[in-house]
Amino acid sequence: MGKPTGFIEYLRELPVDRTPAERVRDWKEFHHHMDEKRLRNQAARCMDCGVPFCHTGTLVSGMASGCPVNNLIPEWNDLIYRGLWREALDRLLKTNNFPEFTGRVCPAPCEGSCVLGINAPPVAIKTIEAALADEGWDQGWISPEPPASRTGKKIVVIGSGPAGLACAEQLNRAGHTVTVLERDDRPGGLLMYGIPNMKLDKKDVVLRRIELMEKEGVRFVCNAHVGENVEAQLLRTDFDAIVLCTGATQPRDLAVPNRKLKGVHFAMEYLTASTKALLNGGPDHSPIHARGRNVVVIGGGDTGTDCVATAMRQGCKTLKQIEILPRPPMERAEDNPWPEWPKVYKLDYGQEEAAAKFGADPRTYVTTVKSLNGDAGDGVRSVTTVQISWQRGDNGRLAPVEVPASAQEVPADLVLLALGFTGPEQPLLAEIGVKTDARSNVEAEHGAFATNVKGVFAAGDCRRGQSLVVWAINEGRGAARECDRYLMGGTDLP
């Protein structure tokens, strides 16, 4: 530990964001960078606690506690404090293939379990990680590293999201010949089309990494939809192993009257259309646009926030976000102790932008949708909502109960469903013949990642269900290790 009293001397600082009024006028990333002195001060707050929960990567009460890829956080914090940026980056890259992604989009479970966070604001780990990754790219320290030799083994990875990319990079480093199939027109999966550009830049961050992997020898094939224009069974004969990294892309629908009205879209349909338009000629070309419209976002997670931020940039007329859960407390509740993930109120970037324009956080809590209401042309014109009360039933479980006489009609001519996902799409899994579990995910034990079909492995959201980008990287690395072991009889991959 470079400065034993750093956590006492320095307050937590974060980069200053561009103002909401400025950033909603473009699609650029909204964070500014911190200067090196302030970053080193933030690293000095890491207190050499002796029991660093920040990198444990365990589940506590069903939620991530500590870094799922087991980043060596105290080590690289100490190195940054001492000005040894290159050495710090080497430590970071030992565990995390893509710190430029996680430093931008990870919710930072490491900070939620920081020991300093018991009685003070935690170390700004995510900020430091993002700065360290960007420094690595700027200085040319992150560069192509193709393997010295090839094994002769061929592997196909289906899906190019964070799990697929991590798996492909690790297998390529082991000397295997890796082909990644992506059904969309660009590689990146969730990173490309599931997260908006202002949160994760596509050209300067995502495609930069893809291009580096191509220089290392990974082959990407886009518009390759296995089960439609690519025959799954041929892959089993053409490749020595298959790794399924297809994600959990089956959206959860809304079972209410008039669901099929025009102007009602799944969140991913909306976000994908927006990013494709941005990359293909301009954001105004999106086929699903919020300009001048009354927008209602149903769902309060990260995807809902991204819909809010996208609608703000498209110039929506009004915006409401409906959340079925209660508003979280400002501080940890007694039943949410450290090192659990802190379930506390947060004004995220999208809600901050909406509040700046419309005067208040757009979220309405403990509320659900009763029906969608149409106009004469079969388009949605409003949403009927009701308040709910969470009550414990005879089985001891909490369930939502409608509050009498609480119905309200909210104007809406664009409704976005951000209700999460129910699991992976099934046709491909059925064609390959892999078993699924009770939640429709691929049945493959964590740590082994092998399916019931010999030579077929699974990783990421298609195996564990909808989760964090950093968990997907963990799974992709693990599946690569076990795939390498299967092919070679042993492995040196971590």
| CATH code of the domain occupying 154-249+422-488 | 3.50.50.60
Domains 154-249+422-488 and 253-419 share a fold: yes
Q: Which two tokens stand for residue 23?
A: 């950033």
Please state, in angstroms and rounded to a whole number, the distance separating the CA atoms of residues 105 and 70. 17
Cα 229–chain centre separation: 28
CB hemisphere CA count around 81 (13 angstroms): 24
**Pairing status of strand 294-298 against strand 414-417:** parallel
| pTM of the complete model beyond 0.75 | yes
| CATH code of the domain occupying 253-419 | 3.50.50.60
In Å, the largest CA–CA distance within the chain is 71
Is-cis flag, bond preceding 339, omega within 30?
Answer: yes
Q: Cα dist. 57→65, 87, 109, 269, 421 in Å?
A: 6, 23, 8, 32, 23
Please state, in angstroms and rounded to a whole number, the distance separating the CA atoms of residues 196 and 188. 13
Residue 408, beta-bridge partner list: 385
Please state, in angstroms and rounded to a whole number, the distance separating the CA atoms of residues 216 and 254. 44
Q: Which residues contact 214 (CB under 8 A, 6 or more apart)?
A: 220
Give residue for tokens 């974060």: 14
Residue 63: its pLDDT value, please? 84
Name the region of 156 (left: φ>0; alpha: ψ -120 to 50; beta: rest). Answer: beta
Taking domain 6-138, whether its CATH number is 1.10.1060.10 is answered by yes
Residue 1: its pLDDT value, please? 65
Mean pLDDT by 10 residues, the chain (494 residues): 88 95 96 93 92 90 91 96 97 98 97 94 97 97 97 98 98 98 97 97 98 98 94 93 97 96 98 97 93 97 97 98 97 93 95 97 97 95 97 90 96 97 94 95 96 98 96 98 98 97
Residue 273: its pLDDT value, please? 98
Domain boundaries, the chain: 6-138, 154-249+422-488, 253-419
CB hemisphere CA count around 199 (13 angstroms): 25
